[in-house]
Amino acid sequence: MPPKKTASENGKKDKKDKKKKEPEPEPEPPLQDSLMSVVEKDLDLIKDLNEDFFARANKIIQMLMERGRTFEASKIKQYTDIIFKLHRKYVEEVKENEELKPQVAQADAKLRIALELTANSEEAMQHLKKALSDAWYESDAALTREQDIQEKFQEVLVKCENFENKETKQDENAEFGHLSKYKNIILRERDRINGEVIDLEKRLQLQRYYSESLEYIIHNHVDSINKMGTRVRVMDAEKQSLDTKVRTLINNLEDQKDINNKTLLKLDSTLRELNETHSKLAKKTAEYDRLKLVAEKLKNDNSLHLKQLAKYEDDIVVLHKEQKETEELIRSLRLEDKVKCNTITQLNNKYKKSVQDHSAVSSKLYKINRINNGLNEDIVRYKNQTNSLEKDLLNSAQKFDELRRLKDNIQRERDNLRSDIVKLNNQIADLRHSIMMQSNTIDSLHLDINKLNVKLDEAKINIAKAEKERDEMAQEVETLHEKIEYYQDQIQLKTDQVTDLSEKLQQKQFQLINMKKQLETVHSEKMILQRSLETCTQERDNFRLLQTKTTHQITQLTNEISANQNKINSLNLRIERLNNDKKELQSELKNTENVLASVRKDLKEMKSKNENLLKTISDDELKFMKISQDLDETRKEKNLIGLQMVRRNDEIVLLKEKLSITQTALDQGRKIYMETVGTTTNERLCLCSGQTQYNQRIEDIRLLKLEITNLQTERECLSRALKSTANMREEIIRLQRSLNQERVRVRSLTEDAKTPTGVHRWRILKGQDPNKFELLAKVQMLQRRTLKQEIEKTNLQRQLEESHKVSETLKRIVENMPTTKVKQKLVETQRINKRQLKKLKALNAELAIDEIELKARECIIEEFKATLKLTKEQLCGAGDVSTVNTSRPEINDYTSQENYIDCVFSASGDSQKSKANQKDLKDNETNEKPIDK
């Protein structure tokens, strides 16, 4: 039989499909060698980040571009560019540091030499001080000797006066007179005094030689001091160069801080992107879970279908049993089978296609494949045997078509799921790659920050060393100042003694002038001594000049030391400022992180609020759509009712022509009735309904006026709020300007304090030192002034801190203040809501009007129906009865028109009154019907 061949061919094709393997996906480029961090690898930023690294990165980018992954390629390109720039700057800074290292070492060596020279100069100063003290001691000894000699001269003069009194008595010894007895004694004393004078001359020569040697030593020391001054100047120049280098390094550090801040901002942006990607990942994972659930549902459906197939197999077994019974009938139906063979072949072709689709599905689901293949073979065998049964084949074909449709749907859903899974896997890989790259960048930044912290620690250690050296120098300077004050006090005492001695010498000179005639020899010796004294005084003056010069040099050195201390203090202040700036930056970073967290929370809240608003807007739109649909339906019904009303109007015209004959009789009866009765109850009802409607319209007008006043008050409040925000902005601008002015003033004052103008610094001052009392007064004045300045400085610092706090609070208030965009959005939403409310009110009014019209028309239709029934009954009635009853329907017609007016007004007023009127109308009709009968 031909169908068997087809089954075998299908089986072979299934086997071939099993043997065929799916093409393996191309391997992705190795973007990461490992998941190790930069810290674990211990990267060398100079050696490891070579040209090979960047070449590999470029190759990876090219590979990604060739694969069509442009987003990843662009991100990697951005990160490689950033890494290249940072690497280049890092290499340049390393080279500059290596170039500056020998210069720093030279500067350290020069500082050491300067400190040694200062120590040597201190030793020389001590030696000079010792020499000066020895000279003063010798001068004191000479003065004491002079006093002794003068006392002896006085004794000699007394003796000489005694000799003059005895000159007249002596004749033999004219030379000695009455002192001839004491001749030997006088000669001995003279010889002794001559010997003492010779000794004094020798001592004076020795003192002159010693003074010359001292002058030579002082000259050498002056030369050494000049050399030291030149060296100090050179050191100052080198120090200035070092200061400039330090400033450049500080600027570089600030630039690096700026770069780090920028990188931190970039990292914040990347973290935001990561958060967004994480949110997207969460959404995708939720979708993936949902798709998994759908896949599980589909698997369950497949299992149900397999169970149905098992049931179908049981049915086929039953059919097989029935087939044996129907074989006898098959022989008779072979002729019919030939005719229907063509149709069966077509069905077989369709079935082959379905089997092929089924084999494609079974290649992925291995277990289901085996069962389906076995079932397909059994089904083919049984179908080949049951070709004769058309009805069963048709039923099975319909069922198989349904199964094929289900399989097609399953395949489509599976393909969609696969594509979604592939997309999600790609996105997950992209996100993992971006996360790893960002983690690498973060690790590198952490390394840079640690290096900078190490450098800062080294700088702090150096500063501590410098502070210790400064304290030691300050202690040494204090000791020197104390020694200088002590020596100055001694010098003042010596000068006082010298002045006293000079006065005594002048007195003695007057005495010696009176005694010149008597003692020329003594006078000559005295002149020699005076000359020696003059030489001593000259030497003393020279020593004083030298002392003034040394004091001037000492003052210059103290000024230089004070200037160096000021510089050191300025550097310490800079370091403290940098530390404060660092702390401020850290606090600002923490504040920015807190602000970011609050902003994120606000964004989440705003997103939730926006979602709720969007939901409400969508619900409102749906309601409006429903309302518009209802309106369209009501309009259509209104049009239909209008057409029906036109038709009814035509009928009414015809009826009016028929009833024109009876109208005359009704008019006559009406006139009589109106004269007798007056106003009817229906007219009263019409008036009452009109008043109620008028009162309702007045209430509507009052409510609208209240709404208008409320809206005006809201508008005024909003305008005031806008004006207040404008005033707040002006105040903020004014405060920022004042803040900037105060900052400029503080900067100018700090710069003046750091670098004062040295106009009167290198000028040689001529004059005498003031007294101690004046110096103490000046010191006290300066101390008071410094205290006042410190108090003012503390007050200014407090004011600055308060202004900073105020500015920070204002900034926070401004940041937390709603922007104009939010206000505009709120105003727009309010306007939209007001418009929608107005539209709703208008629609409600239109609906009320439509309902009124519908009810009025329903009343009209019911009345016309009643009139038609009455006319039909009148036409069917007898002639005699017609004459009697002609008056009653006319009265009913008149009442029906009045009832129509009542229905209109009552519907607009109250629905209950309309229902009551309708009930009354129905009762009237029911009451009138038996009368007509």
Q: pLDDT, tens digit, for every residue of 433-460?
A: 777 777 777 777 777 777 777 877 777 7
Exposure string for 184-208, b = 16+ CB within 10 A, e = fewer:
eebeeeeeebeeeeeebeeebeebe
Question: 370 is written with which tokens?
Answer: 């085996």
- Integer Cα distance of 481 and 502 in angstroms: 31
Give the per-residue pLDDT at 139. Answer: 66
DSSP 8-state secondary structure symbol assigned to residue 930: H
User: 678 — alpha (psi -120 to 50), left (phi > 0) or beta?
Assistant: left
Report pLDDT for 333. Answer: 65
Of 773, 877, 54, 43, the closest CA to residue 440 belongs to 43
Rounded Cα distance, 601 and 607, in Å: 10
Q: Which of 419, 563, 544 is nearest to 488 (CA)?
A: 544
Half-sphere exposure of 218 (CA within 13 A, CB side): 19
138-147, 148-157, 459-468, 505-514 — most confident range:
459-468
Distance CA 252, CA 91 (A): 14
Express each pLDDT in 688-710 by its tens digit. Answer: 555 676 677 778 778 888 888 88
DSSP-based three-state secondary structure for 517: coil
Nearest partner of 593 among 254, 271, 259, judged by Cα: 271
The neighbour count for residue 457, using CB atoms within 10 Å, is 10
Residue 293: its pLDDT value, please? 83
Residue 301's closest CA among 196, 390, 406? Answer: 406
CA distance 686 to 849: 19
C-alpha span between 391 and 386 (Å, rounded): 11
Phi, psi for residue 42 in degrees, rounded to 5: 55, 60
> Which residue type is seen at 233?
R
**Averaged over 265-289, what is the pLDDT?**
78
Token duo for residue 885 = 């009853």
pLDDT confidence of residue 24: 42
Residue 840 has pLDDT above 80, yes or no: yes
d(CA 319, CA 396): 12
pLDDT band at 906 (very low <50, low <70, confident <90, very high): very low
Find the helix packing angle between 520-677 and 183-332, rounded to 10°. 30
- 861 pLDDT tier (thresholds 50, 70, 90): confident
For 307-326, what is each residue's pLDDT tens digit?
777 777 777 777 777 767 76
CA separation, residue 603 to residues 599, 600, 606, 609, 839 (Å): 6, 5, 5, 10, 32
Q: What is the mean pLDDT of residues 378-397?
A: 65
Res 547 pLDDT > 80: no
Give the three-state DSSP class for 768. Answer: coil
**pLDDT band for position 31 (cuts 50, 70, 90):** very low
Q: Is 848 helix (H, G, I), strand (E, B) or coil?
A: helix
Cα–Cα distance between 422 and 655 in angstroms, integer?
80
The burial class, CB within 10 Å (0-12 / 13-18 / 19+), for 675 is exposed
The pLDDT, as a whole number, for residue 818 is 65
pLDDT at 930: 38
pLDDT category, 903, cuts 50, 70, 90?
Answer: very low
Provide long-range contacts, Cβ within 8 A and 24+ apart, for 330-336: 330/388, 333/388
| Confidence (pLDDT) at 354 | 63
The pLDDT of residue 29: 44
CA 299 to chain centre: 51
d(CA 312, CA 310): 5
Residue 6: name the closest of 419, 510, 412, 344 by CA.
Answer: 344
692/763 Cα distance (integer angstroms): 111
Residue 42: per-residue pLDDT? 52
**Tell me, what's the pLDDT at 929?**
41
- CA–CA distances in Å: residue 513 to residues 524, 529, 558: 12, 15, 51
Determine the pLDDT at residue 549. Answer: 78
How far apart, in whole angstroms, are the C-alpha atoms of residue 293 and residue 279?
21
Instruction: Give the angle subtended at the CA of 121 by the CAs of 118 and 122, to the nearest 5°.
Output: 85
Q: What's the whole-number mean pLDDT along residues 396-402? A: 70
CA distance 326 to 388: 10
Residue 889: per-residue pLDDT? 42
pLDDT bracket for residue 898 (50, 70, 90)? very low
- Name, of 258-267, 434-443, 503-512, 523-532, the range with top average pLDDT: 258-267
- Of 30-44, 526-540, 561-575, where does mean pLDDT reach its minimum? 30-44
User: Cβ distance 310 to 453 under 8 Å?
Assistant: no
Average pLDDT over all residues of the chain: 71
Cα dist. 807→745, 804, 817, 820, 872 in Å?
17, 5, 15, 21, 96
pLDDT for the residue numbered 905: 43
Instruction: Report helix, strand or coil for 769.
Output: coil
> Given this model, what pLDDT does residue 888 score?
46
Q: Report pLDDT digits (tens) over 13-29.
A: 444 444 443 444 444 44
Strands (E) in 259-379, as ranges, are none
What Å distances lie between residue 47 and 40, 42, 261, 320, CA to CA?
Answer: 16, 11, 26, 83
Read off the amino acid at residue 585. L
Half-sphere exposure in the Cβ direction for 351 (13 Å, CA): 23
**Pick from 348, 235, 246, 282: nearest CA to 3:** 348
Within 10 Å of residue 627's Cβ, how many Cβ atoms?
Answer: 15
Compute the distance between CA of residue 349 and CA of residue 10 in angstroms, rounded to an integer.
11
Percent of the chain with pLDDT over 90: 0
**482: its two tokens:** 């104390």
Whose tokens are 């004076």? That residue is 204
Tokens of 337: 């089978």
- Give the number of other CB atoms < 10 A from CB of residue 835: 10
Q: Is the pLDDT of residue 468 over 80?
A: no
pLDDT exceeds 80 at position 848:
yes
The Cα 175–Cα 183 span in angstroms is 10
Between the alpha carbon of residue 552 and those of residues 174, 547, 556, the distances in Å are 64, 8, 6
pLDDT at 498 over 70: yes
Per-residue pLDDT at 671: 63
* Chain position carrying tokens 């409320």: 710
Name the CA radius of gyration of the chain, rounded: 63
Q: What is the pLDDT of residue 810?
A: 81
> What does the pLDDT read at residue 360?
61
Most confident of the ranges 499-508, 759-768, 835-844, 911-920: 835-844
What's the CA dihedral at 922, 927, 931, 933 to 10 degrees? 50
The C-alpha atoms of residue 929 and residue 885 are separated, in whole angstroms, by 12
pLDDT for 495 equals: 72
- Region 827-850: what's the mean pLDDT? 83
Backbone φ and ψ for 682, nearest 5 degrees, come out as: -65, -40
What whole-number percentage of the chain has pLDDT above 70? 67
Residues recorded for the chain? 933
Q: Which residue has the higher pLDDT, 244 or 369?
A: 244
21 conformational bin, left if phi > 0, alpha if psi -120 to 50, beta if neither? beta
